[in-house]
Structure 1
Amino acid sequence: MEITLHVLQEKDAQELFQFETDNQGFFEKLVPSRGDSFYVFENFVSRHRELLKEQSEGLANFYLIKNVEGSILGRINLVDIDKHNQTAEIGFRIGAKYGGKGIGSRALNLLLKTDLRLRRIYGKTTTINPASQKILTKNGFKEVGIDKEEFEMNGQHMSFIHYLWET
């Protein structure tokens, strides 16, 4: 399946909201919930505009992962961009219907091939999310630590695993 990355725009709010609500249960099995208020459209639109403001200020880059038909398959983001130190944090979410097809790995590979002007990218995922661990390591991220502190989510105990990508 061919994929492309699209810079997040204001016009994406409705389609992205639908993607997030369609995948809420799936995402919340793997990562902490964004909270019920995230899934109220008016709140989502307000947050969407805040993200676009961050992006316009150069503090973050938000991308939608789309197929050739233009449907959203996932999202991938660089946040907390520090231009002085040339660092950022990576985050990504692949929809439930598209997991296990290499989409996350290909999207991260596409992102890393852009002119990032970054020396280091930090990532993290939970110890119960082997798919995200694989996406990161397949794209050159090295595991640099596991939080000693555990937390419980959906009846499972887990920690965060931290990763680093360097040029």
Structure 2
Amino acid sequence: MNRGDTPGERGLSIPGMTSISRLRPDHAEALLAFERENRTYFAASITDRGDAYFAEFAERHRVLLAEQDAGLHHLHLIEDGDGGVLGRINLVEVRDGSAELGYRIAEKAAGQGLATWAVQQICVLAVEEYGLTSLRAETTLDNTGSRAVLARTGFEPLEDVMFGDRPGRRYVLDLSGGAPPAH
């Protein structure tokens, strides 16, 4: 993080490599390309967004940015050193000091520790920039990668749930004592 950056606007980065930045209007084209590129990959583990998501992307992006400005969400891109989108990581449904964590990592970047790094970094932002005291997350039981990321970053299982016909689990992370240390 750079000194003097505006709170909530600064990015977190590994120098010369990967960074997390708050979603902006000029991210729309790159984000849409990321979603299109990885649509089939994502649909293998979560419900497909459907054709309407892509057809109405510009309006959806505008609405999400307005909701972010209103404090309802904190939306971020994970970018490589050249500005290419490697993923997205979001804190949504912000209320009462808590938010729901969600992330998507590009197929080309999966399995390299990027999700764990990004969740660790977003926990720092959650505490230091957004004043959150807890995060919620959920995943299907067959998504072993996400379950491992949540375990490595300090999330505790809360309850089993169903996502349609797929069993899943809800998790919680207490941030009242600060972001957990990176492992």
State if a TM-score over 0.5 links the two structures: yes
Q: CA deviation at 1:69?
A: 1.6
Quote the residue 2:39 is aligned against: 24
Runs of 4+ in 1 over 6 A off after TM superposition: none
Q: How many residues align?
A: 157
Q: Secondary structure at the match of 1:30?
A: coil
| Distance (Å, rounded) in 2 between the aligned partners of 1:45 and 1:17 | 9
Identify if the C-alpha distance between structure 1 residues 37 and 88 changes in structure 2 by more than 3 Å, giving closer, same or farther. Answer: same
Q: CA deviation at 1:124?
A: 0.4
| Distance (Å, rounded) in 1 between the aligned partners of 2:30 and 2:135 | 28
Quote the residue 1:155 is aligned against: none
Instruction: List runs of 5+ in structure 1 lacking aligned partners.
Output: 153-157
Quote the residue 1:34 is aligned against: 49
| Equivalent residue letter for 2:173 | W
Quote the residue 1:162 is aligned against: 170
8 Å contact kept, 1:87–1:120:
yes
**Deviation per residue, 1:131-156 (Å, 9 max, x gap):** 11111111110111111x4634xxxx
8 Å contact kept, 2:140–2:163:
no
**Map of 1:70-89 to 2, 5 A cutoff?**
70-82=83-95, 85-89=96-100
Residue 104 of structure 1: which of 92, 102, 115 is its match?
115
Residue 45 of structure 1: which of 58, 73, 77 is its match?
58
8 Å contact kept, 1:3–1:107:
no
CA RMSD of aligned residues (A): 1.3
Matched, 1:137 2:151: yes
| Distance (Å, rounded) in 2 between the aligned partners of 1:79 and 1:95 | 20
| Equivalent residue letter for 2:132 | L
Instruction: List runs of 5+ in structure 2 lacking aligned partners.
Output: 1-13, 176-183
| Distance (Å, rounded) in 2 between the aligned partners of 1:24 and 1:102 | 21
Residue 64 of structure 1: which of 74, 77, 81 is its match?
77
TM-score by length of 2: 0.82
Quote the residue 1:122 is aligned against: 136
Q: Secondary structure at the match of 2:151?
A: helix
Q: Secondary structure at the match of 1:159?
A: strand
Percent identity for Structure 1 against Structure 2: 31
| Distance (Å, rounded) in 2 between the aligned partners of 1:132 and 1:39 | 25
